[in-house]
Chains A and B, each alone.
Chain A
Amino acid sequence: MFVLQIIGNILIGVSVAFMALGVFGIFKFDDFYKRVLIVSKIDTVGMLTLIIGLMLRHGFSFFSGKLLLIWIIMIVLSPLVAHIVLKASFQAGYRLDGEIIEPKELEDLNENEENIEE
């Protein structure tokens, strides 16, 4: 039983390390696309290890049951939101390295994409 507590503590330590890397990543990268690529992944993984670590500390109880539910929500929703934010920024005309496409040029760009699909 005591071994679970130790593993839980180690996992929580690992998740704090992930968080630190995520914060470091968000300040190191200068462009939005690079930043999202790094931080969304690290933040999700950090949270998941944190939740698993806490579940191990609390053993088999309602508490870790609710933690499992949060774990499921996080593993589904967090990458989804990162994807949606990225897709929205791409459609709004934000390109790599801060280059922004004006709305007027954007319309003909979108029309070209539709033709390709047909």
Chain B
Amino acid sequence: MELVLWAMIIFLACYIVRVVKGPTIWDRLLGMNLISAKIIMIIIIFASMNNTGYLLDFAIIYSLFGFIGTIFIALFLSKQKLGRRRGKK
């Protein structure tokens, strides 16, 4: 199971690279959503490795808040006047 945990952490790092590199703001929003999903998976795997049930409550609550946060950020951004960035394309 440690192997699966390490794989998840590596994938998390790849998503962080995508969030940093992402050209548009929407890639970053997508990346944040994926990172929160990835963190939930890490919590779940860690909980199943140690056979501790209370960690899963954190995963449930964290997933709800993560998704709700992403939803409201997306709604906020869609109403903003997001023209082309003044700097590079």
Contacts and interface: CB of A to CB of B under 8 A. Distances in A.
A and B assemble together = yes
Interface of A: 12, 16, 19-20, 22-23, 26-27, 32, 35-36, 39-40, 43, 47, 50-51, 54, 57-58, 62-63, 66-67, 69-70, 73-74, 77-78, 80-82, 84-85, 87-89, 91-94, 98, 100, 102-103
Contacts of B11: 19-20, 22-23
Given A19-B11, A78-B37, A100-B84, A67 B18 contact: no
Contacts of B75: 84, 88
A73 B8 contact: no
A89 B15 contact: no
Nearest to B56: A66
A71 B37 CA distance: 12
B57 A66 contact: yes
B47 to A, nearest CB: 8
Contacts, number: 127
A-B pairs, top 6 by smallest CB distance, nearest first, are A88-B78, A88-B74, A66-B56, A103-B81, A89-B26, A91-B78
A73 B64 contact: yes
B78 A35 contact: no
A67 B64 CA distance: 14
B48 A57 contact: yes
28 contacts: A23-B14, A26-B18, A27-B14, A27-B18, A32-B23, A32-B26, A35-B30, A36-B26, A36-B30, A39-B34, A43-B34, A47-B37, A63-B47, A66-B53, A66-B60, A69-B60, A70-B40, A70-B63, A73-B63, A80-B71, A81-B33, A81-B74, A84-B71, A85-B74, A89-B77, A92-B82, A93-B82, A100-B82
